Amino acid sequence: MNHVTVQNPEDILSMLAEVSLRGSGFVTECLLDYVLEEGFTEPIFLNASGEDPDAYFKGQSSAWAVYQIREWKRVLTISGGPGKERRVQITETP
């Protein structure tokens, strides 16, 4: 997958609605649902990179391996990849 950076909140939410994560570690049928549950209702930045065969975009295998979603001072990072257990971390920047 090509590296993607999106800075429009509506486009970010639309894109996340098309991502599902399977495999080991953190999994979800719809990444948008998880992002909203964590309170990221108006993200201002999305960076997606790498390739993960257990991640799906629009139902197609091999979506991005790493997602960084920022909403003002909060950052949600989801990282995984081939042979790795997917992890989730939420941090707050000063």
- Asked if residue 48 lies in contact with residue 21, where contact means CB atoms within 8 angstroms, the answer is no
Query: Kindly report the CA angle at 21 between 16 and 26, in degrees rounded to 5?
Result: 110
Identify the residue with better confidence: 81 or 30.
30
68: pLDDT confidence band, cut at 50, 70 and 90? Answer: very high
- The domains of the chain are located at 4-92
Q: What is the CA radius of gyration of the chain?
A: 12
pTM tops 0.85: yes
36-66, pLDDT tens digit by residue?
Answer: 999 999 999 999 999 999 999 999 999 999 9
Q: How far is CA 92 from the centre of its chain?
A: 17
